Amino acid sequence: MPRLILLAAIAFVLYILFKRAQAAPPHKRRGEFIKLALGIAVVTVILLALAGKMHWIGVALTGALVALRTLGPSLIRFFPLLATKLGQSPGASAGQSSTVATAILRMQLDHESGDLSGEVLTGRFEGWRLQDMERSQLEELFSYCQREDPDSARLLDSYLQQRFPGETDFGTSQPPPPNNGGGMTRKEALAVLGVQEDASEEDIVAAHRKLMQKMHPDRGGNDYLAAKINQAKDVLLG
């Protein structure tokens, strides 16, 4: 009887983990299923060991593999040489980018291509990347933003205009915020322009000019992001 209760408890936990993996954002789903598979492997090994059907060496090897899978990313971050051997450059960057964050969204703008990408920070789609979401999901998210945080709705509207050019049925009539620097911190302004804390006035002006070439409404850009870029420049140059 105790064994049946134990097996039922294990099955229940594995079911919960499976449902959690299914509900994870698409870009995290693979990792969740890997964790689930490792969990099943560990449970299987423990049960076999308790039943006397597996040598302790097998148990040790399983534990080592699980530890390697868990600690591998940390080892790569802390040991640059290991990262190089594995073909990963710890200091590599995909290119300069700007970041604009609201209560619900975090958006990145690639300076070279002008492409927008983003992640949902809260709500039903927390952790999801915008590029992984279907149109119906984006429409639901847009409605949520309109209800909960107009600034997030404006930011999402910027992404939608780029992803679905020429379409206006998302409710894209949000006005840009006033360009007075209010509400934006220096840290946020640095992130918007994609410059460092020690950036000179010339660096700030150059970053602003480059971004405006991508985002100015007269050049096919976006009102909201253009206003944010101008706002960031005003905050940094005071």
Averaged pLDDT for residues 202-217:
84
* Sheet bearing 97-101, strands edge to edge: 97-101, 105-110, 116-120
Question: Does residue 75 surpass a pLDDT of 70?
Answer: no
Q: Which domain holds residue 116?
A: 97-237
Q: Taking a C-beta distance cutoff of 8 angstroms, is the pair 130, 120 a contact?
A: yes
Supply φ then ψ for residue 51, to 5 degrees.
Answer: -85, 0
User: Tell me, what's the pLDDT at 90?
Assistant: 44
Beta bridge partners of 100: 107
Pick the last residue of a domain from 85, 111, 142. Answer: 85
Confidence grade of residue 141 (pLDDT, cut at 50, 70, 90): very high
Residues 131 and 222 both lie in one domain: yes
Averaged pLDDT for residues 162-181:
60
Averaged pLDDT for residues 86-95:
44
Q: Over the chain, what is the mean pLDDT?
A: 75
Pick the last residue of a domain from 30, 56, 85. Answer: 85
Pick the last residue of a domain from 85, 112, 133. Answer: 85
Geometric angle at alpha carbon 117, from 111 and 121, rounded to 5°: 130
Averaged pLDDT for residues 9-22:
72
Residues 225 and 118 both lie in one domain: yes
User: Tell me, what's the pLDDT at 215?
Assistant: 74
Torsion of Cα atoms, 214 then 217 then 219 then 225, to 10°: 10
Instruction: Tell me how many domains the chain contains.
Output: 2
Q: Taking a C-beta distance cutoff of 8 angstroms, is the pair 24, 127 a contact?
A: yes
Chain mean position to CA 32: 16
Residues 31 and 114 both lie in one domain: no
Q: Taking a C-beta distance cutoff of 8 angstroms, is the pair 16, 32 a contact?
A: no
Cα–Cα separations (whole angstroms), residue 16 to 22, 28, 32, 66, 221: 10, 17, 12, 20, 45
Q: Which of 27-41, 77-91, 174-188 has the highest mean pLDDT?
A: 27-41
Question: Does residue 52 surpass a pLDDT of 70?
Answer: no
Averaged pLDDT for residues 140-157:
91
Q: Residues with Cβ < 8 Å from 224, sequence gap 6 or more?
A: 154, 155, 157, 158, 174, 176, 177
Residues 70 and 172 both lie in one domain: no
Residues 54 and 138 both lie in one domain: no
Residues 203 and 133 both lie in one domain: yes
Question: Does residue 16 surpass a pLDDT of 70?
Answer: yes
pTM listed for this prediction: 0.57
Averaged pLDDT for residues 145-149:
92
Residue where the block lists tokens 């945080």: 149
User: Tell me, what's the pLDDT at 4?
Assistant: 73
Residues 155 and 52 both lie in one domain: no
Top-confidence residue, 165 or 10: 165
Question: Does residue 238 surpass a pLDDT of 60?
Answer: yes
Domain CATH number, residue 133:
1.10.287.110
User: Tell me, what's the pLDDT at 93?
Assistant: 39
Structure tokens at 13: 């936990």
Residues 121 and 17 both lie in one domain: no
Residues 159 and 221 both lie in one domain: yes
Q: Within a domain: residue 43?
A: yes
Structure tokens at 205: 């002006």
Q: Within a domain: residue 92?
A: no
Q: Within a domain: residue 91?
A: no
Q: Taking a C-beta distance cutoff of 8 angstroms, is the pair 113, 213 a contact?
A: no
Averaged pLDDT for residues 195-220:
82
Q: Within a domain: residue 90?
A: no
Q: Which helix (H) or strand (E) holds 28?
A: helix 26-50
User: Tell me, what's the pLDDT at 11?
Assistant: 74
Q: Within a domain: residue 49?
A: yes
Residues 106 and 175 both lie in one domain: yes
Confidence grade of residue 88 (pLDDT, cut at 50, 70, 90): very low
User: Tell me, what's the pLDDT at 64?
Assistant: 64
Question: Does residue 234 surpass a pLDDT of 50?
Answer: yes
Q: Within a domain: residue 58?
A: yes
Residues 182 and 233 both lie in one domain: yes
Structure tokens at 220: 């096919």
Question: Does residue 228 surpass a pLDDT of 80?
Answer: yes
Residues 217 and 197 both lie in one domain: yes
Q: Within a domain: residue 120?
A: yes
Q: Within a domain: residue 9?
A: yes
User: Tell me, what's the pLDDT at 177?
Assistant: 52
Top-confidence residue, 228 or 38: 228
